[in-house]
Structure 1
C-alpha cells in the first residue's frame, strides 16, 4: 500500500512530503529514497523508536492528528496510511491535512474496509483474554467504512477532486513486524494489548506465537485485506 500511495503522488521532483501516523517509518523511508524531502509524525514513542532504529537519519516528529505542529501550507503532499479510520475525529483530521498542505497540494489516505480481525480474535482465545468489544465514534463524527463513505467524509473535510478506489490483497506479514505494531499500540490490536496488565500481556504474546505457528507459511503470515485508497487536493 505504501507503493500505491507514492505512485499516486507522482514523481518527487524534490517536493516535500509529510506522512502522518508514520508507524515504522516505511513510507517516509521509501519517499526519501524516491527523491522526496520527507518528514514523518508519529504520536507513539515506541513506534518512533522503531522507526528511528530502522531508518536512522530520517525525521520523525512527536505529533498526531487532528492538531499538527506545522505552519499552514508547509508541505507539497500529505499522506495518512491507515490512520483516518483510527482517529477520534476523522473529519477534523482530514481537514488538518489540507491545512498543512500547500495550495493545490496532494493529499492521499487509506482506510481498512476489511481486515483480518479473525487472527487477533484467535490470539485472544489462545491467550484466554476477553477481546475488546470496540467502540464506535459518535454518529456525527463517524463515517461508513466503504469506498463511498470514505470519499464522502473526505469531501466533507474539504478534500477536492478526490478519487477513491478499493484494493484487495493478501499481505505476507512477518510475525516480528506484526508484533512490533501491536506492542507499539498501533490500531485496535495494539490498543487492546496496551490495555492489558503485565500477566495478560505475557499470555497475549504466547497466544500470538501459537497462532503464528499454526498459520504461518514459510515464516510469513498470509493475511487478506481490503482497503479504500483516496487521492485528492487541498484548496
Structure 2
C-alpha cells in the first residue's frame, strides 16, 4: 500500500468521490444494521466507515497509510494504522467486514480475503468491491491517454500466479477460495461527474494507472499527457462543461463458514 504514501490529501480531492458511490451497496451486502460490529479494511479517508457509523454500527477502521488514518479519524471513532494481509485484531471479532477497492491493491489477494474471513464471526458477512476488466470508459480514458503519448502502464504488483480475473466469476472465485459460502457478485454501473481540472488531480499526484506511468517522466511528457487528456476528455463533457464518465464496479459478498460442531 506504499503507493498511497503522502497522497491522502490528493485522494480526498479526487478519487474519494468516485469510490464513495459503492459505499451504500457495499454496506447493504455486508448486512449493515444497528448494533453490528463492522470492520472497514483500507478505509482511506473513512467514507464507508462513517456511513456505517451513521447506520448504527460499532465500527473499527484500518488503513496502511498514516495520512489516510489521520483524515479518517476526523469522521470515525476508531481507526487503526494497519494493512493487509496481517491485521492486529483477534479472530471472529466482527459481524461484518468490508473492503472497498482494496483487494486489488495487495500482492496476494487470496491471502488478503482469507484474513477478512478470519476476522468475521461464523455466519457473518464479508463484502468487497473491485474495478472490472475490460475497463469501463472512465478507466479506459487513462489507458487511451497513455497510448496517445507512448507511455507504458506500470506492471501489476500482483504476481501472475496470485492474480484473479476482474470479472464476476473471477471475484466470486477469489471469495470462494478464501472459504466464504453463498458467494454472489454483481456489477454496479453509474456515471461519475466531475470537472477536467479535478479529475487530473489523481494522475498529477501519481495515482491511478496514468499517474503511475507518469511517475519520473519529464515535464514535456507530463504536459503532452495533460494535452491528450483534455482532448480525449472533451468527448465526455456535458452541456454544462462537466465531465460525465461512465464507470462500473464489481461487488462481491459471502458468508463466513459456521463453526463445525
- TM-score category of the 2 structures, normalised to the smaller one: 0.7 to 0.9
Give the alignment partner of residue 226 of structure 1, picking from 248, 256, 260: 248
- Please report how far the alpha carbon of residue 200 of structure 1 lies from its aligned counterpart in structure 2 after TM superposition: 8.0
Cα pair distance change 1:50/1:121, threshold 3 Å? farther
**Residues in 2 aligned to 1:188 and 1:86: alpha-carbon distance in whole angstroms:** 12
Cα pair distance change 1:213/1:181, threshold 3 Å? closer
State how 1:36-185 maps to structure 2 within 5 Å.
Answer: 36-52=57-73, 55-113=74-132, 114-115=135-136, 116-121=138-143, 130-135=151-156, 137-173=158-194, 178=199
Partner of 2:10: none
Query: For the Cα contact (< 8 Å) 1:76–1:101, is it kept in 2?
Result: yes
**CA-atom RMSD in angstroms:** 3.3
SS in 2 for 1:85: helix
Cα pair distance change 1:234/1:207, threshold 3 Å? farther
Cα pair distance change 1:60/1:31, threshold 3 Å? same
Cα pair distance change 1:124/1:188, threshold 3 Å? closer
Cα pair distance change 1:171/1:144, threshold 3 Å? same
Cα deviation 1:129-181 (Å, max 9, x = unaligned): 83424337333211111101111121111111111112222222466875665
Cα deviation 1:29-83 (Å, max 9, x = unaligned): 111111111222121233334434xx44533322221111211112111101111
Q: Does 1:196 align with 2:177?
A: no
- Please report how far the alpha carbon of residue 104 of structure 1 lies from its aligned counterpart in structure 2 after TM superposition: 1.4
Give the alignment partner of residue 35 of structure 1, picking from 25, 31, 56: 56
**Residues in 1 aligned to 2:179 and 2:31: alpha-carbon distance in whole angstroms:** 22
Deviates more, 1:35-44 or 1:178-187: 178-187
Cα deviation 1:66-108 (Å, max 9, x = unaligned): 1112111121111011111221101000000001111211100
TM-score, normalization by structure 1: 0.80
What 5-or-longer segments of structure 1 have no aligned partner? none
Give the alignment partner of residue 13 of structure 1, picking from 27, 34, 39: 34
SS in 1 for 2:140: helix
Partner of 2:12: none
**Residues in 1 aligned to 2:40 and 2:75: alpha-carbon distance in whole angstroms:** 17
TM-score, normalization by structure 2: 0.73
